Structure 1
Amino acid sequence: MTCADRIQLSRKRPSVLSTKGPKLWEDRKDKVKAAFKHSWDAYRRDAWGKDEYHPVSRRGSNMITNGQGFTIVDSLDTILMMGFNEEFEEAKVWVRDSLNFDQDGEVNLFETTIRVLGGLLSAYDQSGHDSVFLTKAVDLADRLMSGFDTPSGIPFASVHLRKKRGVPGHEGGISSTSEVSTLQLEFKYLSHLTGDDKYWRAAENVILKMKEMDSLDGLVPIYINPYSGYFHGQEIRIGSRGDSYYEYLIKQYLQTSKTEKVYKEMYDYSIAGIKKHLVGRTIPNHLLFIGEISLYSPSTLSPKMDHLVCFLGGTMALSSTEGKTLDNMTFTRSSFTQLEEEDFKMGEELTEACYEMYNQTETGLAPEIVYWVQDEQQIIGRNEIEHTPGSDFIINNRDGHNWLRPETVESLFYMWRFTGDEKYREWGWRIFESIEKYSKVKSGGYSSIHDIRRKDNIRFSDKMETFFLAETLKYLFLLFSSNDVFPLDKYVFNTEAHPLPIFVPSENLLRRPETEIAAAATESNAAGMTNASDNKPELTKQTN
């Protein structure tokens, strides 16, 4: 089928409902397990203990001298979930005997938290509370805590593990907004497990301060200054450096059994801002997309959208249902409020657009970035590699790579859980088939691809990201599993797809001393956006 044929089919079908039985989905789930095993066995053979795997050259590499076991730790809960018990025991022994955080080297605070700390905490929960994982998690977290030791409490981008010292970012000491606000699920759960509130306080302090800063209807710039504690720059987007700030607002609310309503309020405010400022429509298929703006010209919507934005469809469904699925007798779609229905519908539409990022390419794989077509002027002079006639987006030459990202299949998983519509499973299966066809390395593993725009020009970039095992294959496995596997009213998945149990926090953890709140407000009251100008739009505090 040609790309044009796929686009034409896309226009004709409002839904792809399936009458296929459970045996087919079991078979497809087994194929996802086989893909994981194909990857894991190759990593074990060629790169055991290394942070990352390069499947074409059959070697491993580390981010610091002796590595942090990124691939092993990031995969622990996937291994358990898929029932690979022998592989899990071997990985646990490696964690116990070889994983050592007392190393000279700087690590990214965010990546280490979501992948390694999150992986250890999830493995601790899933393994029946094996102390090996909690002991390692505490050791790591105590080292990562040094990142919060800044003039404002907004963490630095990196941490030196042995010296226990925060390291400013390489862009003038500026940190990423999404990175500093995507530590909270992990640190708060660790406080819940240990009874030590220092992790909770450090992580929560970041959000307390951000809450008091100015925003554009809940939308915040993608950089923040750890020295001043103020947002930095003018770029607003839900893609890179912005994405998981919004994701963790609603997930913090759900993680602590909806006891912290401030996070729901902040999330709702930001979603209203997204609807007001960032939503666009394509031609010819009228797809809904999320664009980007600058505070200097907030009425000018850029049609650029990262694949990373595709998490948002599933997150909006999660926020609307609060984790309750349609087969739960306490919840039906008719019980939605008007706002919940509106958000859920928008999540459905965005998820469809994200699927079309795959469906409208020749390979059936999505690029890293697209520019959505809003008028015919955008495609004048474009060749067929950049824009296939009839498609809804442009793929620039520098944006055609595919890193086997999880965000679209993540949203397909959520939508399947919340609607029961098997079209989402079918879409996920088509994506998996394309991964199998174009990314699989015969000798073992799967590789990122330089350019997905032409199937006769596939070149491997020789890297298998750890999130392919931790997220992409996990969400596909769950998409083809029954609804009772990790129920979404019992678990919250961190941004690296590590399931963490929902819990009721102790009174001590929920206590927010007035002095803390007053200090956060005082330090942030003058915040605003740095580099402000006279023509900047009116900004408001993130409170309703």
Structure 2
Amino acid sequence: MPLARKRLIIPAFILTFVIYILFDDIDLDGPPPDYPPDFPPGHPPNYPPNHHPDRRPIPEVELDEPVHWHKLHEQYPVKEFIALPSDTPSKPIPRIQYDFPKEDASDRKQRLDRQAAVKEAFLHAWTGYKEHAWLKDEVSPISGKFVNSFSGWAASLVDTLDTLLIMGLDDEFQRALEAIEDIDFTTTADQTINVFETTIRYMGGFMAAYDLSDGKYPILLKKAQEVGEFVYGAFDTPNRMHVARWKWKESLRGTPLRASQKTLLAEVGSLSVEFTRLTQLTGDPKYFDAIQRVTDHLEKAQSKTGIPGLWPMTVDLENLDFVKDSQFTLGGMADSTYEYLPKEHLLLGGHTEQYRRLYEATVNPIKENLLFRPMTFDKADILFSGTRIGKHMYYEAQHLTCFIGGMFGIGAKIFDRPEDLNTARKLVDGCIWAYDVMPTGLMPEIFTLSACDSLNECVWDEQTWLRGLRKGSRNNDVSDAAMRQMAVAEHLPPGMTKVTDTRYILRPEAIESVFIMYRITGDKALQDAAWRMFTSIEKMTRTEIAHAGIQDVRYTDTAKLDKMESFWMAETLKYFYLIFSEPDLISLDDYVLSTEAHPFKRVA
């Protein structure tokens, strides 16, 4: 994404390249929005590998090995910890889930058949991981090799522990449980630790399995503490703001830390749920204290940014400057900071109103500045979220932003905002639409749309769509007929103007929100939509070994990518399984699902 504060094109490109160099292995980044319409032709998007796409480790200079992390004397110790809030909530948190009636026999059979198909797909992927990449981070689903994208601590195994429990795969869980004894979280060959990824995949994976097994296996909490103790070292800075990309071996050598002047928003505010749960489970206040200090600064800055109520995509944590960047998005590089506001309120049992204040302050600015209704030939009443840079709005949808429907749905229920439930449903329906209109039945990573003038009313105007096609076209012939022919050739349905990133990489965000909306409304049409999504994914991504992302969702003969992220088993297949489960399995009134779909028990 162009990240320049100015609206000049060349500075925007330069800053985009700088972000690529700095952040190219991040989970949170989705590719940037489309270039401004006047970006020089012949310059293809320079997307970083991305919470979740195609991550590649940065080559690093090896230091002396082996090196093991151990507890250090802190250079900037906390004098007094902020305690978990314990005030009685003003009123109980409202229920989230629909009061499901007893299902009839035919509905039950269909649901169980679908659930069984999801479980079979999971076992196929899990078996491929076991046979080809056991105790490694990820299996390569075509070549049968493995990659260590997350410090080599068996990311797929740890990330998937709770899925094994949810699916009742007890023997597989016991084998995984025995294997985690061999994972040493005090050392890695990686020179830089991605604190966010380590927290959500490893710490979150262990704690969720501990919660789901009712504390039966103490090793799970022990391992979560090992991870927590390690990443807590990244908070030893003068202002106690963490270093998101932490050169941990330099800390061992005594080099002082300073928070970065360019930290992605998603890495700023997306540790709260995991760190809070670790304090709740262990009684150690330092983890909650660490993230609460971050939240307090987010609250102080919230009304002072370029769009009051929202935070920009990058922030200066060293100087606590939240106004430098003029880019605002709910997509990659920002997403889970917003997602965690209602979820942290739930996890804390409503014992503080801070997260309600933070969330409610975002809602209207999101609606007014980021949401848009696409102009479609069938006048579909759907919504997407775009990106705003300064005064310019980019009507570009990302698969990553599909989490917003679920976020709005949960917020509508727990904060008694019934009017937001309609917005939530339109956002969910938008992502379903994006799956249904593609020949493969799969939503692209990123695509642009013609936008309506209003969120509520829209009239189809072919000329507006054709103008949008011309902006993204490199054809010499830009006549109406040529644009219509191009749209047919590139499988662009009326209203869609360009597919900026054509891949599908096994992402969970769409089914996540479909699942949440189903649990909120009980609408069986959402189960049918989920089934269409699942069967398309299974058809297009299955390999002999596991499942693979695909290169271009517009073509059914597209190439497969030799990559299967751990979130395929940890998130995507888990949500598909749960939408076809009994509604009391991982009830949203009993658990909080993290950004990695790890269920943590809610406290009273």
Q: TM-score, normalised by structure 2?
A: 0.74
Residue in structure 2 matched with residue 184 of structure 1 by the alignment: 272
2:551 to 444, 450, 475: 450
CA contact (8 A) 1:159 1:167 kept: no
Among 325, 328, 331, the residue aligned to 1:236: 328
Pick aligned residue for 1:367 from 434, 439, 444: 444
C-alpha distance in structure 2 between counterparts of 1:152 and 1:305, whole Å: 36
Q: Does the 8 Å contact 1:56/1:447 carry over to 2? A: yes
8 Å Cα contact 2:370-2:387 kept in structure 1:
yes
Determine if contact 1:386/1:395 at 8 Å carries over to the other structure.
no
The equivalent of 1:464 in structure 2 is: 564
Partner of 1:499: 599
Structure 2: any 5+ residue segments left out of the alignment? 1-102, 452-463, 471-477
- Give the letter for the 2:430 counterpart: A
CA contact (8 A) 2:490 2:554 kept: no
Name the CA distance, whole Å, in 2 between partners of 1:162 and 1:133.
Answer: 26
3-state SS of paired residue (2:600): strand
Q: CA deviation at 1:391?
A: 3.3
Deviates more, 1:369-378 or 1:242-251: 369-378
The residue type paired with residue 393 of structure 2 is L
The one-letter code of the counterpart of 1:229 is: L
1:292 aligns with 2:379: no
* Code of the aligned partner of 1:495: T
Q: Indicate the larger mover: 37-46 or 222-231.
A: 222-231
Q: Structure 1 stretches of 5 or more lacking a match?
A: 1-17, 323-335, 505-544
- Residues 261 and 127 of structure 1: CA distance in aligned 2, closer, same or farther (over 3 Å): same
CA contact (8 A) 1:447 1:462 kept: yes
Q: How far has the Cα of 1:263 moved from its partner?
A: 0.4
> Deviations 1:21-59 (Å, cap 9, x if unpaired)?
111110100110000000011110011011011010001
Work out the CA distance in 1 between the residues paired with 2:492 and 2:440: 16
2:526 is the counterpart of 1:424: yes
**Pair 1:405 & 2:507 matched:** yes
1:277 is aligned to 2:369: yes
Measured in 1, the distance between the counterparts of 2:272 and 2:494 equals 39
Are residues 164 and 492 of structure 1, via their aligned partners in 2, closer, same or farther at CA, if it must alter by over 3 Å?
A: farther
Query: Deviation at 1:385?
Result: 6.2
**What root-mean-square deviation, in Å, do the aligned CA atoms of Structure 1 and Structure 2 show?**
2.3
Q: 1:351 aligns with which of 424, 428, 437?
A: 428
Distance 2:294 2:433 in 1: 36
Task: Return the letter of the residue paired with 1:349.
Answer: K
Letter in 2 for 1:141: G
Deviation at 1:158, TM superposition (A): 2.0
CA change 1:99–1:76 in 2 (3 A) is farther
SS of match in other structure, 2:318: coil
In 2, distance between residues paired with 1:64 and 1:433?
30
Q: Secondary structure at the match of 2:393?
A: coil
Query: How big is each residue's C-alpha offset from its partner over 1:133-188, in whole Å with a ceiling of 9 and x where there is no partner?
Result: 1111111111101212223322212234566569999x975211111201011111
Of 410-419 and 230-239, the range deviating more from structure 2? 230-239
Percent identity over paired residues: 34
Partner of 1:92 in structure 2?
A: 177
4+ runs deviating over 3 angstroms: 98-101, 160-169, 385-392
Distance 1:132 1:315, change over 3 A: same
Distance in 1 of aligned mates of 2:255 and 2:199: 15
Q: Specify the alignment match of 1:327 in structure 2.
A: none
Q: Residue 257 of structure 1: SS of its match in structure 2?
A: coil
**Alignment correspondent of 1:61:** 147
CA distance in 1, matches of 2:183, 2:156: 14
With 352-361 and 369-378 compared, the bigger mean Cα shift is at 369-378
SS in 2 for 1:409: helix
Identify which of 364, 376, 379 aligns with 2:469.
379
Looking at structure 2, the residues matched to 434 and 168 of structure 1 have their Cα atoms a distance apart, in angstroms, of 50
Query: Distance in 2 between the 1:168 and 1:42 partners?
Result: 43
CA distance in structure 1 between the aligned counterparts of 2:595 and 2:421, rounded to whole angstroms:
20
Deviation string, structure 1 residues 503-527 (Cα, Å, up to 9, x no partner): 14xxxxxxxxxxxxxxxxxxxxxxx
| Cα distance in structure 1, aligned partners of 2:255 and 2:165 | 35
Q: 2:297 aligns with which of 209, 212, 236?
A: 209
- C-alpha displacement at 1:247, in angstroms? 0.6
Q: Secondary structure at the match of 1:492?
A: strand
Q: Deviations over 1:99-158 (max 9, x none)?
A: 443334222111111111100110111122111111111111111012122233222122
Question: 1:135 corresponds to which residue?
Answer: 222
1:98 and 1:164 map into 2 onto residues whose CA distance is 22
Contact 1:223 1:233 in 2 (8 A): yes
Q: Distance in 2 between matches of 1:470 and 1:168?
A: 36
- Corresponding letter in the other structure for 1:145: Y
Alpha-carbon spacing, 1:446–1:394, altered in 2? closer, same or farther (3 Å): farther
Matched, 1:304 2:396: yes
Q: Which residue of 2 aligns with 1:154?
A: 241
The secondary structure found in structure 2 opposite 1:455 is coil
- Is the contact made by 2:406 and 2:424 (CA closer than 8 Å) also made in structure 1? yes
Pair 1:31 & 2:117 matched: yes
Amino acid corresponding to residue 431 of structure 2 in structure 1: C
Q: Aligned in 2, Cα 1:168/1:277: closer, same or farther, shift over 3 Å?
A: farther
**How far apart, CA to CA, are the structure 1 residues paired with 2:493 and 2:397?**
19
Compute the displacement of 1:386 (Å): 7.5
- Rounded to whole Å, the distance in 2 between the matches of 1:185 and 1:68 is 21
Once residues 488 and 210 of structure 2 are traced to their aligned partners in structure 1, the CA distance between those partners, rounded to angstroms, is 47
Which position in structure 1 is the counterpart of 2:263? 175
* Residue 61 of structure 1, CA deviation: 1.4
Change (3 A) 1:491 1:350: same
Match of 1:111 among 163, 184, 197: 197
Distance across 1 between alignment mates of 2:353 and 2:150: 40
2:535 corresponds to 1:433: yes
Deviation, 1:95, is 0.6
Q: Give the C-alpha shift of residue 192 in structure 1.
A: 1.0
Q: Deviations over 1:193-226 (max 9, x none)?
A: 1111000000111010111012323111011223
Closer, same or farther: CA 162–485 of 1 in aligned 2, 3 Å: farther
Q: CA separation in 2, counterparts of 1:34 and 1:167? A: 50
**Alignment CA distance shift 1:64-1:494 (3 Å):** closer
2:128 maps to 42
Letter in 1 for 2:572: T
Kept after mapping to 2: 8 A contact 1:168/1:175? no
